[in-house]
Structure 1
Amino acid sequence: MRTRAAAAALSFARLWRRALPRPWPNAACDPTTERCRAPPSAAERRRASRNAGRATADGPTVRSYDWTVARATRAPAGVERELVLVNGEFPGPAIHARLGDQVRVRVRNALEGDESTSVHFHGMHQRGSNAMDGVPGVTQCGIPPGGEMTYVFNVTQTGTFWWHSHSHQQRGDGMFGALVLTGPDEQYVAGRDYDDDLLVVVHDHYHRPAAEAYSWYLSRQSSGFEPVPDVGLINGRGRADCARLPAAVRPRCDASKGQTARFEFVPGRRYRLRIINTSSLAELSVSLDDHVLSVVEADSTEVEPLDVHYVPLGPGQRYSVLVEADSLLPAVLLRVHMHKSCFNYVNLALDRDFAAVVEYSAPPIGLAGRLRRAIRSASRPPVSAAWQDVLPEQECVDLDPTQLRPLADGHVPDADIRYQIQPKNIQLERMNLAPFGFINRTSFMPAIGAPNLHVALGLVDAADTVAVPTVSARYNTPRWGGDQLVVDVPFGSVVEIVIQNSDEAAHPFHLHGHDFWVLDTYAEYKIGLGAWRPYYTDRYRLEGALKRDTVMVPRRGYAVIRWVADNPGLWAMHCHILWHLSAGMMMQWSVGLDRVSEQPTAAMLEHCAHERELGAALLRPLPGDEFRKNTVTVPHGPTLPE
């Protein structure tokens, strides 16, 4: 506990330090070691310039990455398990590029059996490169084992993004990483508004393979409850409590292999923390002891600074915060809290609070340094205190969008058309009570070897592919095959979407290819359903509305978003909870397909031909198939209205 004298000294020293010149004005932060260091030497700069993926030329350049996807055994929290990794890294390699650059990512699939893979660049609009959006069944077929393809796209945006697999449950097995894009049009500039970047990737983690967890989720054992995580990680590091683990898992646990993520602050510097939630399920709140977080970015949209103590993030969301390194404590905790209201049962192995350590480097010379040394010596061992704000545990919701004001014009145009969609987890007796995800009356089930973009371009006829069993037990859709909700919207129209959520769980909804304005969100905290009504348009925030690409739709509530359909292509929209997405909670928007001029690469066509050759060998039984008849040989035919 600090004395009054120590607290006074702390406040005075902070004011004094802010008047001091900042050391290391050109210091850099290495995201692989999470440590800030002195400016690179000439030799280091020469070595960096030879790295095509991290080139630093002033003009546009090609940023090339060479990735191999393979399974490997790791113990990120002290518990050994198999992960799906890119180049053996967890999290995967970070991509850095500048506005106007071209990014080329060569992906080789070294997985075994028939496990395909893919890469989606979350938040990228992919203007003119819809085929590179990385969604199997929509824009491509999966990259088969032994196969490879190169994703190529031009950088037309700036901000904090991330990439992840869109195949199977590979994201839950560790196939994800950061994507940071910078450019001259940014309002918050490194070297002027802040000194260094730090990547803070926060995520939940399971001690079993994601496919195993998903199989449990679809079984009667789950009662429709999503698998609750076993531990939380920061930049792939964490510590599990071996004593709390089930007996079957305990032999795989070695506490000495667990690691705590560490960052280093240089006193007097200002840091930009790029926080990314890559979780399969958990909403997380991030705070930093003894430091105020100034939010300046939400899902790549720059906003006016908003000072907070906690930043909540749903799966798929990102925030940037500026932090003054002005604490006189030798070390503080960067805390992450999992919201229990997102979970349907208690996992006794899980500690919902986890943290990284932020250490201060040697204090500067002068009065501030002497005061800091005195406080350090008087406070050993160093223990920082969490902020005493009461976290709102009752719901999983976004940071209040009305508090975030975009720096760019936030005026929202009038809507030309409105759609209402209703995501819902439904358990059907004929499906053995498996909790499949629906949007309206459709649970996404793509055709085999006929992604919709290829169908739209006339490269393949879905009717010529093997029919797939559908959760709805309907005929395969005549145009697209499988069971898919694809909505045509006029090119250039302003589209309003009311997402009505009657589930007992929040849904973080992500739209590919576009950003959207968040006009209104509402949750019914007590009883009943917070249903949207047409006269609720009076509640819309039409001036200063926040634009983003992922929004938390509260449980028993709704969200209203609006976007301009000006990017030709087929664009997925789905819940970003891994278990809901895997179970079918996805739809697509068809925008100006007659304006799509790009053609899939030869590798993409080859992968789809291979998939069609395998045909029925890729079909998997659906839960409840043992109680049904003719589930595999479903003919193509007319479908019911959506």
Structure 2
Amino acid sequence: MAVRITQLTLLFALLLTICRAAVVEKYFNLTWVMANPDGLQERKVIGVNGTWPLPVLEVNKGDRVIVHVYNGLGDKDTSVHWHGLFQNGTTHMDGPSRVTQCPITPGTSFTYDFTVDQSGTYWYHCHTDYCYPDGYRAPFIVHDSDAWFADQYKEEFAVTVSDWYHNMVEDIRFIDLANPTGAEPIPDSFLFNDTMNTKVSVQPNTTYLLRIINTGAFVAQYFYIEDHNFTIVEVDGVFTEPEEASLIYIAVAQRYSILFTTKASTDRNYGLVTIADQVLLDGIPDTLVLNQTNWLQYNPSASFDPVNVTLNIADENPAFDDYSLVPYDKEPLLENPTKIINLTVSMGILDNGKPYAFFNDQTYTHPKVPSLYTALTAGELATNEAVYGEYTNSFVLNHLEVVEVVLTNNDGGSHPFHLHQHNFQVVSRYPPYGEDFYSLSDNVDPQAFDPNNHTAFPEYPMRRDVVVLPPMGNIVIRFVADNPGVALFHCHIDWHMQQGLAATFIEAPLEMQKKIKIPEDHFAACRAAGVPYAGNAAANTKDLLDLSGQNKPAKPVPAGFTARGIVALVFSCIAAFAGLAAITWYGMAPLSASEQEAVERKVASTNVQTAEE
């Protein structure tokens, strides 16, 4: 009898969810618009329906979302990634070009259609040719009246923090002979809600929910509210046990939701303070302002004074350690992983003298056929990692197995890693959190994870979809392969993604073949882009193990050459060719009148001397 009551209860809950669900349909016409968000320089940005910033999308858990995208940019391919959404059953709607779809070419349309079966704070952005720093990003909020904190606040706000470049991505020389060290481009400014000097109106003695999203391309930021503490209740779409904090560190693509209660007095306004993590920057121009003050507006008649910010605030008051967060659902530690993937991060150059990023000494190079389409057309061979190409860092996962990814950082910089279509448990992290966590000494050697000698794993590990890999440190994450599809795993510093710091997880490919049906307009996008949509990574449909013609990166530096040596060689060759070209040009150039007269005098003198002899 009890079992029957439980079944009826579950059925009633399901029917209630279906009844509450709505269809949210949007039409996006992507075009160039002009914007000047920092007041320093106007530039082109990618707008939706003639406006920028892009619209904030707000839906309820269970809603069906349909977005019709028309590419009116004229000169750029595009796509939309719905960052943090699982896309369970709709992996083809995830958005990364040449991974789960073909790019949307100028003058063509593409429809995203999926159901949101989760809650929390997300965002959407371009995932084609590294274009979201050109303004193509905005919040995507999923409301849930059943959230444990839903009755504890009066109103909510969603805000973004981001870095900003005055030049378009295509005009920034990064993977270039002139930048052999791979130094990331320094932003020109930092924005809050895609602008500056924002005022958020509040009432006294009132509790609010604030959602904070780092939509930047590179730089993490610290955040605090002047003279206010707050309570963390969500990270990356995962509700957490309440944790009090006064300062948080938000890497690019990470999100936090916090509750805060305003003061009783309205005699002044208080700063919403952001501080860029200067450790990530190779240099700080005199014109770059690292800290920004925006405000909680208690009283519009009171002054709005910038907060006197200490740039090394983390040394004096360390940010909250997200590793200590406990998910509200208390999902226990995933035990006994059956698939272990070891990935070592490094940075370096290839034999073309340009800087790249590597997993296990391999830089990601996109296949000719999007990996999802290979999985759907490879038949039984879809379980063979070879068909996805030698240069895509592909790993095939069995359905429902527990997967462990061990990340080791051989680089002196931190890296925020994002897994598409999942969140994951963070079961180990080294070094322990402290003032040197994001900026270890140059003398520290890489610290690999030792599965036989490590600190105890948490009973209820933190879950999120973006985690920071410390410099010279390591991270261990775990998740269940319960979402058949193709999931990209990559550093969310967009410059590092551009350098090839990515891997591809091919999850339950035979299950995909049974369940995934690609809409016709997706194939039409491939035809318009001239991208094949069947066969292996080389577009071979006859012999799936023949990868002749696959896309390849530049070759590794020859043995015996150091990075400095190859750069010196490349620049020496350039200098030599430039010198030869100059000599050739000079030799072939016509003589001036004075030069011609001097030559004639020399010839005449020589003739006289010869005659006398």
Which category describes the TM-score, using the shorter chain as reference length?
Answer: 0.7 to 0.9
Residue 282 to residue 604, structure 1, CA distance change in 2 (3 Å): same
How much has 1:308 moved relative to structure 2?
1.5
Residue 140 to residue 326, structure 1, CA distance change in 2 (3 Å): same
Deviations 1:319-371 (A, max 9, x none): 00111111634211111000111112222221100121221158xxxxxxxxx
TM normalised by structure 1 equals 0.74
SS at match of 1:92: coil
More off after superposition, 218-227 vs 200-209: 218-227
Identical positions, percent: 27
More off after superposition, 415-424 vs 332-341: 415-424
Tell me the residue number matched to 1:135.
96
Tell me the residue number matched to 1:483.
391
Distance between the aligned counterparts of 1:109 and 1:410, measured in 2?
A: 42
Q: Does 1:457 align with 2:416?
A: no
Q: Give the number of aligned pairs.
A: 508
Q: Does 1:581 align with 2:497?
A: yes
**Structure showing greater Rg:** 2
Q: Give, as a single letter, the amino acid of the residue that structure 1 aligns with 2:185.
A: P
State which of 56, 67, 72 in structure 2 corresponds to 1:105.
67
Unaligned runs of 5+ in 2: 1-16, 432-436, 534-546, 554-613
How much has 1:409 moved relative to structure 2?
1.5
Tell me the residue number matched to 1:95.
57
How much has 1:262 moved relative to structure 2?
1.6
Tell me the residue number matched to 1:520.
428
Residue 220 to residue 399, structure 1, CA distance change in 2 (3 Å): farther
RMSD: 2.9
Tell me the residue number matched to 2:406.
498
How much has 1:155 moved relative to structure 2?
1.0
How much has 1:219 moved relative to structure 2?
3.5
How much has 1:535 moved relative to structure 2?
4.2
State which of 301, 306, 318 in structure 1 corresponds to 2:255.
318
Contact residue 224 and residue 272 of structure 2 kept, 8 A:
yes
How much has 1:59 moved relative to structure 2?
1.2
How much has 1:266 moved relative to structure 2?
1.3
Residue 172 to residue 445, structure 1, CA distance change in 2 (3 Å): same
Contact residue 437 and residue 583 of structure 1 kept, 8 A:
yes
Q: Give, as a single letter, the amino acid of the residue that structure 2 aligns with 1:139.
A: T
Contact residue 478 and residue 636 of structure 1 kept, 8 A:
no
Q: Give, as a single letter, the amino acid of the residue that structure 2 aligns with 1:202.
A: V
Q: Give, as a single letter, the amino acid of the residue that structure 2 aligns with 1:605.
A: F
State which of 279, 289, 293 in structure 2 corresponds to 1:355.
293
How much has 1:453 moved relative to structure 2?
1.0
Distance between the aligned counterparts of 1:232 and 1:222, measured in 2?
A: 26
SS at match of 2:521: helix
Contact residue 401 and residue 518 of structure 1 kept, 8 A:
no
Contact residue 282 and residue 339 of structure 1 kept, 8 A:
yes
Tell me the residue number matched to 1:11.
none
Q: Give, as a single letter, the amino acid of the residue that structure 2 aligns with 1:529.
A: D
Contact residue 291 and residue 327 of structure 1 kept, 8 A:
no
Tell me the residue number matched to 1:229.
187
How much has 1:393 moved relative to structure 2?
5.7
Q: Give, as a single letter, the amino acid of the residue that structure 2 aligns with 1:541.
A: F
Tell me the residue number matched to 1:345.
283
Tell me the residue number matched to 1:5.
none
State which of 505, 516, 519 in structure 2 corresponds to 1:601.
519
Tell me the residue number matched to 2:450.
534
Q: Give, as a single letter, the amino acid of the residue that structure 1 aligns with 2:329.
A: A
Contact residue 163 and residue 176 of structure 1 kept, 8 A:
yes
State which of 24, 28, 37 in structure 2 corresponds to 1:63.
24
Tell me the residue number matched to 2:341.
419
Contact residue 95 and residue 180 of structure 1 kept, 8 A:
yes
How much has 1:399 moved relative to structure 2?
4.1
Q: Does 1:148 align with 2:67?
A: no
Deviations 1:138-188 (A, max 9, x none): 100011101111101111100001110001121101101101112243112
Residue 131 to residue 613, structure 1, CA distance change in 2 (3 Å): closer
State which of 168, 178, 184 in structure 2 corresponds to 1:209.
168
Q: Give, as a single letter, the amino acid of the residue that structure 2 aligns with 1:290.
A: D
TM normalised by structure 2 equals 0.78
SS at match of 2:167: coil
SS at match of 1:106: strand
Contact residue 391 and residue 552 of structure 2 kept, 8 A:
no
Deviations 1:63-92 (A, max 9, x none): 111111111221111111111222333331
Contact residue 268 and residue 303 of structure 2 kept, 8 A:
no
Deviations 1:254-312 (A, max 9, x none): xxxxxx22210111221111000011110101111121121111111111222222111
Contact residue 290 and residue 384 of structure 1 kept, 8 A:
no
Contact residue 217 and residue 494 of structure 2 kept, 8 A:
yes
Residue 478 to residue 530, structure 1, CA distance change in 2 (3 Å): closer
More off after superposition, 279-288 vs 406-415: 406-415
Distance between the aligned counterparts of 2:33 and 2:419, measured in 1?
A: 31
